[in-house]
Amino acid sequence: MTPLQSALKQKLNNARRVAILGVGSELRGDDVAGLLVAKQIEKTITEQPISPHSTRPDKSGLAQGKPEVRVFIGETAPENLTGEIKKFQPTHLIIIDAAELNKEPGHIEIMEPETIGGTSFCTHSLPLKIIIGYLLESFKFQAIIIGIQPKTLTFGAQPTKEVVAAAKHLAETITKLLINK
């Protein structure tokens, strides 16, 4: 098990309802990273529907059962989905976005919500910390923020191979943990 898989598995322990929020812009190169991950997970869910009888984990948590998973495509205005996320009432919210991590392009990092104030997320105007705080006023959940280091954010650029590969890897990791048990 990779360090990423291990860290995510630990954070998703006892998950019953998982919301995945992909954030970013398709118009600015690697800023699409969060959307690529979310759309791949959504495609997997659509192709492999989860039986209603197998969507709840048993007492031992994620390792023994499958949580209910819902994907939200937030693009550059993830705050517009807060109402839908509230209705879903997830026990865990995974937010995926391109982020300036001062690492190599394609680097994936799980960040603690309280530490994201100094991290530069790419194109949305409302900080993720504010969105998380707003949602926490309505219900309790564990926030998991995952950043992918972009190589380019140039308007009109295509996503780079490093970020596309990282997004694919992250989507496969999350899918394996949540859906393909």
Which tokens is 167 given? 């997004």
Predicted structure pTM score: 0.86
Kindly report the CATH class assigned to 3-178.
Answer: alpha beta
Side-chain-facing half-sphere of 121: CA atoms under 13 Å = 30
3-class SS at 176? helix
Q: Are 22 and 78 in contact (CB under 8 A)?
A: no
Three-class secondary structure of residue 46 per DSSP:
helix
What is the CB neighbour count within 10 angstroms for residue 110? 15
Domain-by-domain residue ranges, the chain? 3-178
**More confident position, 131 or 114:** 131
Q: What is the pLDDT of residues 34-58, one digit of tens each?
A: 999 999 999 998 876 544 444 443 4
Q: Which structure tokens are listed for 128?
A: 């993720």
